[in-house]
């Protein structure tokens, strides 16, 4: 065989469905790795029932799904060859070995892409799953410019060559999977979708997803960007309004002068917040600052032209015109920052981050032996 198929299953307090899933995967020639994410003692019997040659890794405290996935990735990375593929699955019975095979084959054809096993959210789908997916798909499309049908799927596959990049992405719990989707377009990793079965056992009661707490984690970066943009807008609009009033004696010139001055101040604040707290860029402030202010200058020019046209040619109220202008240019600014300025760290920094996140001494010697 020229390649191997690895299956990685993060599991926290699983039921018997885990054992059945592992058996099915072994029959389809998967090398199965199960990560016990700090389950209580009562669940030890379930993990002991996992049939060999599947491997069970564990640590004492619950760290979250993202941590379990990256812990398993570190194990697979030490054993996988360049042509191998890795499939991640949930342990609660939502995924089948047959569908795992389908996404694995798709990943073998395009190992450079992240392959998603997407479900159909029709009648019979639990309301919280249907609503949650609709919201996250909409927000994700606005944030990334990429359309996907199922942002919450845990059935994913990719070539082993992507392991260092994916393992270096942020997130320890459920937010990790959304961060993966957000960062792949930034790093030039394409996303493809493969239809799979839609299975919910007992209305998805086996899920450990907490609707409020984990949704906040998932939307963390998006919420931070929105807050940063709101802060910049408040500063920009407030200063613009104040200057328009103070410079009213200058006539028509008060609008462009007020707009430029307000934008310089608000852009400086927005850049600092986005670089340090939203995207946490590892690039130098000089480089990203230059790119940011080039973008700001271009947007400012277009912003000022549109604002002046609305107020002087169309006769729109000065304050209403400012709102229309800001809404128009908000999307352009976000997409440029997301895909150009704050793409992420350099390749060297990513590799370093992966090493820092999973130093070799953290991997127990007993399962590092071939």
* Mean pLDDT of the region 12-34: 96
Between CA 335 and CA 185 the distance in angstroms is 11
Looking at residue 171, its pLDDT comes to 87
Is 171 within 8 Å of 216 (Cβ atoms)?
no
* Mean pLDDT of the region 57-80: 96
**29, 25, 32: which is closest to 8 by C-alpha?**
32
**37, 33, 30: which is closest to 8 by C-alpha?**
33
- Encoded tokens for 185: 């377009």
**Can you say whether the dihedral through the CA atoms of 39, 44, 45, 51 is positive or negative?**
positive
34 backbone φψ class: left, alpha, beta (φ>0; ψ -120 to 50)? beta
Please say if the pLDDT value at position 361 is more than 50.
no
Residues in the chain: 370
* Mean pLDDT of the region 25-54: 97
Looking at residue 130, its pLDDT comes to 62
Q: Kindly give, in sequence order, each residue whose CB lies less than 8 Å from that of residue 286, ignoring residues fewer than 6 positions away.
A: none
Between CA 322 and CA 316 the distance in angstroms is 10
Secondary structure letter of residue 252 according to DSSP = G
Q: Kindly give, in sequence order, each residue whose CB lies less than 8 Å from that of residue 369, ignoring residues fewer than 6 positions away.
A: none
Of 26-30, 51-55, 240-244, 329-333, the one with minimum mean pLDDT is: 329-333
* Mean pLDDT of the region 181-188: 87
In the chain, the domains with their CATH numbers are 5-218 (3.90.550.10), 222-345 (no CATH)
Secondary structure letter of residue 309 according to DSSP = I
Pairwise pLDDT comparison (302 vs 74), residue with the higher score: 74
- Residue 59 bridge partners (DSSP): 37
Q: Within its chain, how far is the Cα of 24 from the centroid?
A: 30
Q: How many CA atoms lie within 13 A of 203 on its CB side?
A: 3
Q: What is the pLDDT of residues 83-98, one digit of tens each?
A: 999 999 999 888 999 9
**156, 155, 157: which is closest to 199 by C-alpha?**
155
* Mean pLDDT of the region 119-143: 67
Q: What is the pLDDT of residues 232-281, one digit of tens each?
A: 888 988 999 999 999 988 888 888 899 889 888 888 888 888 777 776 66
CA 297 to each of CA 235, 314, 332: distance values in angstroms, whole numbers, following the listed order: 17, 24, 13
Of 141-150, 183-192, 302-311, the one with minimum mean pLDDT is: 141-150
Kindly report the pTM of this predicted structure: 0.63
Return the percentage of the chain with pLDDT > 90, whole number: 41
* Mean pLDDT of the region 172-201: 86
- Residue 158 bridge partners (DSSP): 86
Between CA 217 and CA 229 the distance in angstroms is 19
């Amino acid at each position: 065989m020229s390649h191997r198929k690895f299956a990685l299953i993060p599991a926290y307090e699983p039921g018997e469905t885990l054992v059945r899933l592992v058996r099915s995967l072994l029959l389809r020639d998967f090398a199965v790795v199960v990560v016990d994410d700090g389950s209580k003692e009562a669940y030890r019997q379930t993990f002991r029932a996992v049939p060999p040659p599947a491997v069970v890794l564990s640590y004492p405290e619950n760290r979250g799904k993202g941590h379990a996935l990256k812990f398993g990735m570190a194990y697979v990375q030490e054993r996988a060859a360049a042509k191998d593929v890795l499939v991640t699955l949930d342990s609660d019975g939502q995924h089948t070995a047959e569908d795992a095979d389908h996404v694995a084959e798709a990943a073998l054809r395009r190992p450079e892409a992240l392959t998603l096993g997407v479900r159909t959210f029709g009648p019979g789908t639990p309301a919280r799953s249907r609503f949650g997916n609709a919201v996250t798909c909409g927000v994700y499309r606005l944030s990334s410019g990429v359309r996907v049908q199922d942002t919450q799927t845990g059935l994913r596959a990719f070539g082993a060559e992507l392991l260092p990049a994916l393992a270096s992405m942020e997130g320890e719990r459920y937010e990790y999977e959304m961060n993966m989707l957000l960062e792949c377009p930034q790093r030039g990793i394409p996303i493809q979708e493969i239809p799979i079965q839609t299975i919910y056992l007992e209305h998805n009661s086996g899920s450990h997803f907490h609707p409020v707490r984990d949704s906040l984690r998932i939307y963390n970066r998006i919420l931070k960007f929105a807050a940063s943009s709101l802060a910049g807008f408040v500063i920009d609009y407030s200063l613009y309004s104040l200057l328009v009033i103070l410079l009213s004696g200058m006539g028509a010139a008060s609008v462009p002068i007020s707009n430029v001055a307000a934008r310089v101040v608000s852009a400086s604040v927005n850049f600092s917040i986005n670089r340090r707290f939203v995207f946490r860029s590892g690039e130098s402030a000089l480089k990203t600052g230059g790119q940011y202010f080039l973008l700001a200058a271009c947007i400012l020019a277009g912003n000022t032209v549109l604002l002046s046209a609305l107020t002087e040619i169309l006769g729109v109220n000065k304050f209403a015109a400012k709102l229309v202008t800001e809404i128009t240019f908000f999307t352009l600014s976000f997409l440029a920052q997301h895909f150009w300025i704050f793409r992420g760290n350099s390749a060297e920094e990513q590799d370093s981050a992966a090493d820092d996140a999973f130093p070799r001494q953290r991997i127990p010697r007993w399962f590092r032996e071939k």
